[in-house]
Amino acid sequence: MQDSPLDAESEVHLPVVKDHVYHCVCGYEYPVEPNRGGQCPFCLRRVSGEALQDAYEATVSLSSLQSSANDCEVDLAPKDSMSDQLFGHFKLEKQLGQGGMGAVYRALDTSLQRYVAVKVMRKRGEDSSKRVDDMLREAIAQARLNHPNVVTIYYVGRQQEEPFLAMELLPGPTLAERIRLQGSIPYPEAIQYGIQVASALRHATIFDLIHADIKPANLILAGEGRVKISDFGLARMEKGDGAGQANSLAGTPSYVAPELLRGGAYSIQSDMYALGVTLFEMVFARLPVALLGDTLQERLETLLAAQIEFPNPWPNAIPLEFKNLLQRLLARDPKERYSDYDQLLDALKAIAPVSTTAAGFAPRLMAYSVDQACLLAAMAPFAISIFGIQASGAESRQLLIPILAFASLIVPALYLFLIYKGWPSLGRYLFQLRIVEEHGLPPRREQLVPREVLRNAFAWFFPLALYISLQSVSVSKGIEYSLIAVLGLNSIALFLLGRRKALHDYLCHSNVVLAVNKSES
């Protein structure tokens, strides 16, 4: 066994899976089964078979991570005091910001002639030195996360005694800056960001990583509608039992899960809690719990005792399902949150608004015509049989008329059953239309059925009017006039009110939109 996991060659390609030997981020090599993965006997970090299949190369400097007996301080002034200095083959140009652990600079990669972000770490004393080394090692782990919603780490090392890492330079800003400058983020956009973050965190779990500091300040906008997770500096290793290391507590108080404050272990559920706080803050531009008190201890006690401050009344523009999701993510007991990211992603996607491009008049008219024609054609045999019996005048067969009329109800009953089960009508399927509720979400089943009854009133009641006309012409005329009135009101609502909504859409709070693809019709 190696004396130290850091006694490695100065430049290696990570991860390396050769002849069933895996090179761990701690520097230790051990045999693995490609389909099952393995666990490092030195640092106990697990690697899954899925991670081995997706392994890719990322060059880092391992020997440069060895701690020095002489800890130095890197005091960074607000001005660009380190500009024009070389860190490896990265030339610092302009300071972009600084925090408790160092400063971030825009830098030129002189090797590839591209701009990157370089984070120079600040070291203060022995304890701080160990934390910096841990952060650098986790940055190596982050470099393996080949995911579109994770900031790419290019290089990790030291310049003499100054630790640094080079990473992808993004246009920004962070979501925290956007919320501070512009207020709340529109609900559809916020949900998409939540899906992206959950997807990235799920990807991290296959490499045994828990982020441990999810918050808007660590989510950077990377172009239109896309966000990336940065700063895995507090990342924790996930144990085989699903619990993370709990030997220390770090993070931002407002986003720390309650179980961590009670001495519990880090887990994917603690990251889910932080994501819940982040989603709340994105949509409502404030935190779910206001931290009160003069000391940190008093504020943390407030976090443990306070209840979530949901908007009251609930905003009409935001679906109530979002509140249900937040309540589960922000549950005090981690067992009440989602068991894995697959469940969370399913829940997020279920409340993600779809395209709200209103369908035009032509496809709606053609879809309606197809549905009416199909329903009338299905009911035609019953109507023909009834009129044939009536015309024959045979009294012995007159009893069959009510039986056939009752049997004809099978057609609308079957149609409504399929709609209730989520099937699109034939017309909507052919012309790629779909029904959404007022927030752009799939409508509830109990909402769809009355809508279809109103929409297909002509197909339902016209055969009934014909049957009743055999008994009472006046009643039949009344039904026919009512049908004409319904068709007229539908046409007025659809063509003259300017919102492309028929009468049944107004009554049932629904919209007809263009489906993105046929599977969504």
Beta partners for residue 12, in sequence order: 60
Average pLDDT over residues 487-508: 73
Average pLDDT over residues 11-30: 57
Domain endpoint, select from 141, 169, 197? 169
Per-residue pLDDT tens digits for 31-42 = 887 777 788 888
Same domain, 422 and 484: yes
CA distances from 355 to 2, 209, 406, 478, 516 (A): 56, 34, 41, 41, 7
The pLDDT value given to residue 473: 66
Q: Out of 55-64, 157-166, 242-251, 342-351, which region has the weakest mean confidence (pLDDT)?
A: 55-64
Whether 355 maps to a domain, the answer reads no
Q: Indicate the DSSP class of residue 55.
A: -
User: At residue 140, does pLDDT exceed 60?
Assistant: yes
Per-residue pLDDT tens digits for 289-315 = 877 766 767 777 777 777 889 998 999
Q: Indicate the DSSP class of residue 106.
A: E
Residue 278 CB neighbours (<10 A): 27
Domain residue limits at 195: 175-350
0.85 surpassed by pTM: no
What are the tokens at 317?
Answer: 């523009």
Length of the chain counted residue by residue = 521
**How many folded domains does the chain comprise?**
4
Same domain, 158 and 224: no
Q: What whole-number distance in Å separates Cα of residue 73 and Cα of residue 317? A: 51
Helices (H), 27-118: 49-53
CA proximity to 140, closest of 238, 245, 28, 232: 232
Q: What whole-number distance in Å separates Cα of residue 267 and Cα of residue 242? A: 6
Domain endpoint, select from 66, 86, 115? 66
Average pLDDT over residues 444-463: 79
User: At residue 2, does pLDDT exceed 60?
Assistant: no
Per-residue pLDDT tens digits for 198-247 = 999 999 988 888 888 899 999 999 888 899 998 775 556 555 443 444 44
Question: 18 pLDDT band (50/70/90 cuts)?
Answer: very low
The pLDDT value given to residue 486: 72
What are the tokens at 291?
Answer: 């931290």
Same domain, 314 and 232: yes
Question: 398 pLDDT band (50/70/90 cuts)?
Answer: low
Per-residue pLDDT tens digits for 73-101 = 333 334 456 777 888 889 998 888 776 66
The pLDDT value given to residue 321: 92
Question: 156 pLDDT band (50/70/90 cuts)?
Answer: confident
Q: What whole-number distance in Å separates Cα of residue 460 and Cα of residue 302? A: 60
Same domain, 154 and 218: no
What are the tokens at 11?
Answer: 């430049």
Domain endpoint, select from 138, 169, 200? 169
User: At residue 391, does pLDDT exceed 80?
Assistant: no
